[in-house]
Chain A
Amino acid sequence: EVQLVESGGGLVQPGGSLRLSCAVSGFSVSDNYMAWVRQAPGKGLDWVSVIYSDGTTQYADSVKGRFTISRHISKNTLYLQMNSLRLEDTAVYYCAKERAGLERYYGMDVWGQGTTVTVSS
Chain B
Amino acid sequence: AIQMTQSPSSLSASVGDRVTITCRASQAIRNDLGWYQQKPGKAPKLLIYAASSLQNGVPSRFSGSGSGTDFTLTISSLQPEDFATYYCLQDYTYPRTFGQGTKVEIK
Complex contact B43–A46 (CB within 8 A): no
Complex contact B55–A58 (CB within 8 A): no
Chain A nearest CB from B53 CB (Å) reads 8
- Name which residue of chain B comes closest to A94, CB basis: B43
Q: Per DSSP, are chain A's interface residues mostly helix, strand or loop, or mixed?
A: strand
Chain B nearest CB from A40 CB (Å) reads 12
Q: Given A107-B46, A113-B43, A114-B43, does the pair A45, B94 have CB atoms closer than 8 Å?
A: no
Q: Does B82 contact A (CB under 8 A)?
A: no
- Name which residue of chain A comes closest to B95, CB basis: A60
Cβ contact of A94, chosen from B34, B44, B91, B97, cutoff 8 A: B44
Q: Specify which chain B residues have a CB less than 8 angstroms from the CB of A108 in the assembled complex.
A: 34, 36, 44, 46, 89
Q: C-beta contact mask, A44-84 vs B, less than 8 Å → 1, else 0?
A: 11110010000000111100000000000000000000000
Complex contact A107–B34 (CB within 8 A): yes
Report, as a range, how many residues of chain A touch the other chain. Answer: 20 to 34
Residues in B81-98 with C-beta less than 8 Å from chain A: 87, 89, 91, 94-98
Complex contact B98–A44 (CB within 8 A): yes
Complex contact A47–B95 (CB within 8 A): yes
Instruction: Report which residue of B1, B42, B55, B95 has the largest number of chain A beta carbons within 10 angstroms of its beta carbon.
Output: B95
Q: Given A94-B44, A105-B91, does the pair A46, B98 have CB atoms closer than 8 Å?
A: yes
Q: Specify which chain B residues have a CB less than 8 angstroms from the CB of A111 in the assembled complex.
A: 43-45
Complex contact A45–B46 (CB within 8 A): no
Complex contact B49–A99 (CB within 8 A): yes
Instruction: Report which residue of A98, A99, A107, A112 has the largest number of chain B beta carbons within 10 angstroms of its beta carbon.
Output: A107
**CB within 8 Å of B: which residues of A?**
35, 37, 44-47, 50, 58-61, 94, 98-99, 104-109, 111-114
Write 19 A-B pairs (CB below 8 A) sorted by A numbering.
Answer: A35-B96, A44-B100, A44-B101, A45-B89, A45-B98, A47-B96, A47-B97, A50-B96, A58-B95, A60-B95, A94-B44, A106-B34, A107-B34, A107-B55, A107-B91, A108-B34, A108-B44, A108-B89, A109-B55
**CB within 8 Å of A: which residues of B?**
1, 32, 34, 36, 38, 42-46, 48-50, 53, 55, 87, 89, 91, 94-101
